[in-house]
Amino acid sequence: MRIQPSDPVDVRIGARLAELRARHGWSLGEPAERNGAGRSTLSRAERAEISATAALLNRLRNVYGRTMSQLLSEVEAEPALAPTSPTTARPCQDWNSTRGPSTARWR
């Protein structure tokens, strides 16, 4: 059986969940007991073996005293870039953020 590489977002989310758990000094059992998820589910999410569902993240963010937006912003990747040309995958030279993406022209 071939194992797929973990999605970078899943890896960052898992690392953040593990960090929050460690910050509280908890074993896997404590947050699992508090949110109703199994220890194995939490462990697999922390190791990015599974993608944490929105429902799981919602329960965990409550356990860790975060809002969903706080939790997700803590693991966001680099800031969004200007749109790229579908043929060159380079940023458009004429992109103007005041026009917005709906009126952007491809070069």
Q: How many residues does the chain have?
A: 107
Task: Name the band, by pLDDT with cuts 50, 70 and 90, for residue 107.
Answer: very low
| Residue 2 in this model has a pLDDT that exceeds 60 | no
Is the per-residue pLDDT at 10 higher than 60? yes
Q: What is the pLDDT of residue 36?
A: 85
What one-character DSSP code corresponds to residue 84? B
pLDDT digits (tens, 9 = 90+) for 15-71: 999 999 999 999 999 998 888 888 999 999 999 999 999 999 999 999 999 999 999
Domains delineated in the chain: 8-73 (1.10.260.40), 79-107 (no CATH)
Residue 32 three-state SS: helix
pLDDT for 1? 46
Q: The pTM is what?
A: 0.66
Q: pLDDT at residue 94 above 60?
A: no
- What backbone phi and psi angles, to 5 degrees, belong to 21? -65, -45
User: In this predicted structure, what is the pLDDT of residue 4?
Assistant: 62
